[in-house]
């Protein structure tokens, strides 16, 4: 086999969902947008539905349609981008619930699908999606008469527990929803970890389900093993890969493995990433190319058949640190060429 093997532990995804569900008093939904952060929306969502998740969030109606196909009738599928032009048939036919973000979206929704379920997204300071306080106070009474299913907002700084923005958004959200009986939701993964006053009636974890920061107690979900194509010996002074950026200082054994930036392995990890043969760390050598990476395997007793880039030895967040990015970007960059194996269910 010459493609990398991406192993996704659905048992760990479900355990992470249950662990986050246990800490709150609220219903726990599951955010499965962007193909469940790159791990495969249909497989992940079906596993979570079996574990007890009844409400799902996706980014847009197309993702919602694919999710309905995977889950069948029953579970609530909420659309974060709301009701966009062209979405009406999907929303209507597939029982999707748009989170309406503006008066324009509200008008589009009630004119095209009168009586169809919807939720409302409020902006409490992130300035990305949702109605601002002034817009909301203008339409609040009309919208409430139409029985929204959910009123939600999103935290901008939830992964920084001491950031004053968290308390600020909490108090704005409370003010904007004061006295309402509608189901409310504010917390993503980081929000769940901030404390019980962020619970409301529904939480919306994403990254924590997939083993990422800030849910640092999460079980590891993803491992990535990349086959070795060829090994060779270098004399001191010889170089590896584009730009000669690795130069051997001593006799060195280099393994060339079968994945590169076309598989979502960010080129920015070239300086500093490690690959693992069992538990032994071997430094990446030279630059990540499109389909290949050089690895210094000098310290191994024998040539490895494959090397591991992600797993218990090196988490998604460890690799993100090498590239000065976040675990979310590592996961959602995972390529389509890997052979995917689902375990744990
Ligand atoms: C992506 C997203 C989430 C999930 O956030 P995590 O940080 O991955 O837990 C929740 N709510 C909204 C509105 C989102 O866009």
pLDDT for 45 equals 98
pLDDT category of residue 2 using cuts at 50, 70 and 90? confident
Per residue in 67-105, pLDDT tens?
999 999 999 999 999 999 999 999 999 999 999 999 999
Which CATH code is given to the segment(s) 222-343?
2.40.37.10
Q: How far is CA 47 from CA 72, 84, 92, 121, 339, in A?
A: 13, 29, 26, 27, 19
Collapse the DSSP code of 65 into the 3-class scheme (helix H, G, I; strand E, B; otherwise coil) and give the result. helix
**Looking at the predicted structure, is the pLDDT value of residue 62 above 80?**
yes
Question: Could you say which of 3.40.605.10, 3.40.47.10, 3.30.365.10, 3.20.20.10 is the CATH number of the domain covering 10-210?
Answer: 3.20.20.10
**Looking at the predicted structure, is the pLDDT value of residue 1 above 70?**
no
Place of tokens 């499109």: 290
How far is residue 64's CA from residue 247's CA, in Å, rounded to a whole number? Answer: 50
Query: Domain-by-domain residue ranges, the chain?
Result: 10-210, 222-343
Averaged pLDDT for residues 257-264: 97
Task: Provide residues with CB under 6 Å of ligand 1.
Answer: 31, 33, 80, 154, 188-190, 204-208
Active-site residue numbers?
33, 242
pLDDT for 224 equals 98
pTM given for the model: 0.97
Per residue in 216-252, pLDDT tens?
999 999 999 999 999 999 999 999 999 999 999 999 9
In the chain, % of residues over pLDDT 70: 100
What is the crossing angle of helices 164-176 and 133-145, to 10°? 40
Per residue in 181-208, pLDDT tens?
999 999 999 999 999 999 999 999 999 9
Averaged pLDDT for residues 43-69: 98
Q: Which residues pair with 76 in a beta bridge?
A: 55
Question: Which ligand 1 atom is at minimum distance from the Cα of 37?
Answer: 8
Q: Is 84 labelled a binding residue?
A: no
Residue with CA closest to ligand 1 atom 4: 206
pLDDT category of residue 25 using cuts at 50, 70 and 90? very high
Averaged pLDDT for residues 266-294: 95
Averaged pLDDT for residues 157-182: 97
| Ligand 1 center–CA 115 separation, angstroms | 27
pLDDT category of residue 122 using cuts at 50, 70 and 90? very high
Q: Is 290 labelled a binding residue?
A: yes
Size of the chain, expressed as the number of residues it contains = 345
| Ligand 1 center–CA 247 separation, angstroms | 43
| Average per-residue pLDDT for the chain | 97
């Amino acid at each position: 086999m010459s493609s990398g093997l991406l192993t996704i532990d659905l048992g760990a995804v479900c355990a992470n969902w249950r662990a986050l569900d246990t800490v709150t008093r609220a219903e726990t939904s599951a955010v499965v947008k962007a193909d469940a952060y790159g791990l495969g929306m249909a497989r992940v969502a079906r596993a979570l539905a079996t574990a007890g998740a009844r409400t799902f969030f996706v980014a847009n109606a197309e993702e919602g349609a694919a999710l309905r196909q995977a889950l069948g009738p029953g579970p609530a599928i909420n659309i974060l981008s709301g009701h966009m032009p062209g979405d009406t048939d999907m929303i209507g036919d597939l029982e999707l619930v748009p989170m309406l973000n503006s008066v324009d979206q509200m008008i589009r929704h009630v004119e095209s699908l009168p009586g169809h379920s919807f939720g409302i997204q409020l902006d409490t300071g992130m300035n990305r999606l949702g109605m601002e306080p002034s817009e909301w106070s203008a339409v609040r009474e009309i919208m409430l008469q139409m029985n929204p299913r959910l009123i939600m907002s999103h935290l901008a700084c939830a992964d920084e527990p001491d950031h004053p923005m968290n308390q600020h958004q909490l108090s704005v959200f409370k003010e904007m929803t004061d006295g309402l009986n509608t189901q409310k939701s504010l917390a993503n993964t980081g929000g769940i970890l901030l404390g019980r006053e962020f619970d409301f009636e529904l939480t919306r974890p994403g990254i924590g389900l997939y083993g990422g920061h800030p849910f640092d107690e999460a079980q590891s979900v993803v491992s990535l093993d990349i086959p070795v194509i060829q090994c060779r010996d270098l004399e001191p002074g010889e170089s590896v890969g584009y730009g000669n950026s690795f130069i051997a200082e001593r006799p060195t054994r280099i393994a060339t493995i079968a994945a590169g930036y076309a598989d979502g392995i960010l080129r920015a990890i070239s300086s500093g990433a490690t690959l693992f043969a069992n538990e032994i760390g071997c430094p990446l050598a030279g630059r990540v190319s499109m389909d290949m990476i050089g690895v210094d395997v000098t310290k191994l007793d024998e040539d490895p058949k494959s090397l591991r880039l992600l797993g218990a030895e090196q988490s998604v967040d460890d690799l993100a640190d090498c590239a000065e990015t976040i675990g979310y970007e590592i996961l959602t960059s995972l390529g389509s060429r890997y052979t995917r194996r689902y375990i744990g269910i």
